[in-house]
Amino acid sequence: MRIFLQIRPILAALRSHKAAVLLLVLEIALTMAVLGNLVFVVYGTMQRSHTPSGVTESQIGLIQSIGVVGEDNPGTVAGNLAVMRSAPGVEDAAYGFLPLWHADRSPLFLDASRQHPAVHAYEFMGSQGLNRTLGLHVVRGHDFTDTEIPDVMDVFMGRLSAPVPVLLTESLAGRLYPNGNALGSILYDGTKSLRVIGIVNHLRGEITGSASDDDSLVYEFRVGAQNMGGGYLVRSQPGRLPEALRAAAAALQKANPGHVESKVLTMAELRENYFKSDLASGRMLVAIMLILLVVTALGVSGLASFWVQQRRRQIGMRRALGATRRDILHYFQAENFLIVTGGVALGALFAYALNLFLMKRFELAHLPSHYLLVGAVALWVLGQLAVLGPALRAAAVPPVVATRSV
């Protein structure tokens, strides 16, 4: 409790160093403002890079197979999928789209006049079995049955007679039908009418951090004897993805000697490519944060050692009058704590101001208050570490100093 008794003399002593104390408070406040926002940005990026896409990523691979016009191309889509399924380690295969790979939003309309788009959503389409291959969870309604899905040529040539059955994500269903009557409803995209037959829990086209990432719909079409290039998806048995993908790619190439397999990637590799530049910029920000912490620590310990030098005589007197080494140590530690606390309080204001600026200029989200708490704790710890050296030197000042003239 003796430490609390010291607060008044500390404040009194600080009053005679107003300029230096103010500068230190200002520096800590600025550090806090920048640090809080940087931690927020970096943590947001890291969190985003772990957001699940809604498909069974650990078991899914992609083979982008491009047909060369004029080369020998005996394979058909149905045949291709069959040879891929019979490759060792492969559980299922489909032709179609998958998350984080050229996903694009298209407008959806609630009425056939298509005047005002109700929402823009990711459209995933593919061969029969696409949703099984992706591992989507139908939570309401029912899954596709092979008899109700249209033929691929009817879809592409615009010869559809009935609405195409689709699955919506819960997020998209909620946005289009806030009353919860999505099942059985009819909606429209640019060319087709669509009938909602079921709801899946999640399927993200991209992961930008926005809630609308999860606004997706899926439909399947029947493929057969067509010769089609594009995305061939593999679902492996658990834990066997690399070998299964390799085997499927080899089987697919053998069946289609006139195809070029321009990309053979696991979903994990796709994800890594997708977040490459975000994570790189995150690493730059971490480097900047480290520089900031080092500079602040330099400032704190520089001023503290100056003060210790300046007060050698006073410290000697206090020691001669009965203060223990521990008292002197605590004095400097408490002083530092008070200064940092002042800086943190001012820094919280600065942090919000900087956040407002970044929100306006770079569309950053609103800074939640617990980041400030993390920043405050970090600065308290940093301050205590920085002051420890000078404070120990102060505690080592012998009482005899008091008797000498400086």
Partner 1 sequence: MFGYYLDLAWRSLKRHKVLAALMTLAIALGIGASVTMLAVLHNLSGNPLPGRSDVLFHPQVDPRPVDLPGAKDEPPDDLTYIDALNLYRLGIAPRRAVMSRNWLPVRKDAPDSPLAMFTDRATTADFFAMFGVPFLYGSAWSAQDDASHAQVVVLSRAMNQKLFGGEDSVGKTLVIATKTFCVIGVIDDWNPQPRFYDLNDGAFGKAEQMYLPFFTWLDLPQDYGYGPMDCWGSNPEAGGHDPKAKQCTWAQFWVELDTPAQVADYRAALVQYSAQQQQLGRFQRAPNVRLRGLLDWLDAKHVVPVTVRMQTWIAFGVLLICLVNTVGLMVAKFLRKSGEIGVRRALGASRRAIFAQCLVEAGVVGVAGGLLGLPMAWLGLWMVRQQPVSFAASAHFDPSMLGIALGLAVLSALLAGVWPALRASRVAPALQVKSL
Binding site for partner 1 (CB under 8 A): 19-20, 23-24, 26-27, 30-31, 34, 38, 66-71, 190-191, 258, 260, 262, 276-277, 280-281, 283-285, 287-288, 291-292, 294-296, 298-299, 301-303, 305-307, 309-310, 354, 358, 361-362
Task: Pick between residue 132 and residue 313 the one whose CB is nearest to partner 1.
Answer: 313
Q: How far is the CB of 134 from partner 1 (least distance, A)?
A: 25
Task: Pick between residue 257 and residue 368 the one whose CB is nearest to partner 1.
Answer: 257
Task: Pick between residue 66 and residue 385 the one whose CB is nearest to partner 1.
Answer: 66
Task: Pick between residue 119 and residue 358 the one whose CB is nearest to partner 1.
Answer: 358
Which candidate, 218, 94, 222, 92, places its Cα nearest to that of 166? Answer: 218
Task: Pick between residue 266 and residue 296 the one whose CB is nearest to partner 1.
Answer: 296
Give 234's strand partners: 61, 93
Q: How far is the CB of 109 from partner 1 (least distance, A)?
A: 13
Task: Pick between residue 244 and residue 303 the one whose CB is nearest to partner 1.
Answer: 303
Q: How far is the CB of 31 from partner 1 (least distance, A)?
A: 6
CA distances from 369 to 165, 219, 233, 351, 357 (A): 45, 42, 43, 10, 17
Where are the alpha helices (H) located in 58-192, listed in sequence order?
77-85, 130-134, 152-157, 170-176
Distance in angstroms (rounded) separating the CA atoms of residues 99 and 95: 14
Q: How far is the CB of 295 from partner 1 (least distance, A)?
A: 5
Q: How far is the CB of 302 from partner 1 (least distance, A)?
A: 4
Distance in angstroms (rounded) separating the CA atoms of residues 365 and 359: 6
Distance in angstroms (rounded) separating the CA atoms of residues 154 and 395: 87
Task: Pick between residue 66 and residue 365 the one whose CB is nearest to partner 1.
Answer: 66
For the chain, the residue count is 406
What is the phi-psi region of residue 397: left when phi exceeds 0, alpha when psi lies from -120 to 50, beta otherwise? beta
Under DSSP, the state recorded for 129 is T
Distance in angstroms (rounded) separating the CA atoms of residues 242 and 271: 15
Q: How far is the CB of 309 from partner 1 (least distance, A)?
A: 8
Q: How far is the CB of 167 from partner 1 (least distance, A)?
A: 22
Q: What is the DSSP string of 215-270?
A: -EEEEEEB--S----EEEEEEESTT-HHHHHHHHHHHHHHH-TTEEEEEEEEHHHH
Largest CA distance in the chain: 105
